[in-house]
Each structure stands twice: as structure tokens, then as C-alpha cells.
Amino acid sequence: MLLSRLLRVMGGLICLSIVPIFLPLSWLEAAHAALGLGTAPQKVIFEYMARTLSAMYFAHGVMVLAVAGDVHRYRPLIRVVARLNIFLGILFLLIDCWAGMPVYWIAVEGPPIVAVGVLVRTLERKLGAEVPPLATTYSA
């Protein structure tokens, strides 16, 4: 099913964000400079934000992979994921502009997140009208 495959790719790519959590600080600083963002601030908050943001992305990716396993059962949550992506993509676009991020950054962060959210929502709608409950009751 296309929706399941899209969610698996999306979740897998997002899970790659686990890598920066464990990189040496000097590598994070080098990446900051290589992205054209100048010298990384020599403050504890830089390292904290870089690592915790990566951890949050990773957690999101794991959740997306979990719902990809059963798109019918988790349809209500997939709908939330789609809407959240659309909202966050727009928010990231506004924040990137407000913060003065480079044009390439603005182009590759917010708009693709919105596009994937719209695609997930479109494919979710095509699943049909019936939405099974999230919880399953088991009898002994």
C-alpha cells in the first residue's frame, strides 16, 4: 500500500536524526559552519538544542514507523501526523524567514514537510470511510 510505504520512507529518513545525538561537538560545530551558518555559538545551549532536537525528530520518526505497520488501525493517528506536518511545515517556514536562515534552508525545510503532510493526508483519505477503533478488546 502506497501510504504505508510513504510512512516507512518518511519515518526511516526522520530516524536518521539519531546520528547527531552522538556526534562529537566539534563535528556539530563543523556542520554548522559548512551549512554557511557561521561559527557555532560557544554556549551550552547550542549543544543542548542540537542534540535534543535530533532526539525529538528521532522519536517522531519511530512513531511514524509504528503507524506505518497498520494504516487502517492507526488511521486517526495518521491523520494527526499529516495535519501536524502541514502545520509544522508552515511554522518552520515562518520561523526560518524570521530567523534569517539562508534561502536554501528555507526552501528545503518547511515546504517539503508541508508537501509530505498533504500527500499523507490525501492517501489517508483514500483508505475509505470506515475507521476501526485504536484499541482492540480481547476476550479470554
Predicted model pTM = 0.81
Does 140 map to a domain?
Answer: no
Per-residue pLDDT of the chain (140 residues), as tens digits, is 899 999 999 999 999 999 999 999 999 999 999 988 889 888 899 999 999 999 999 999 999 999 999 999 999 999 999 999 999 999 999 999 999 999 999 999 999 999 999 999 999 999 875 555 555 555 55
Does 57 map to a domain?
Answer: yes
**Contact (Cβ atoms closer than 8 angstroms) between residue 86 and residue 20:** no
Does 97 map to a domain?
Answer: yes
Number of domains in the chain: 1
Range of the domain at 39: 2-125
Residue 70 half-sphere exposure toward CB, CA atoms < 13 A: 7
pLDDT for the residue 133: 56
Does 80 map to a domain?
Answer: yes
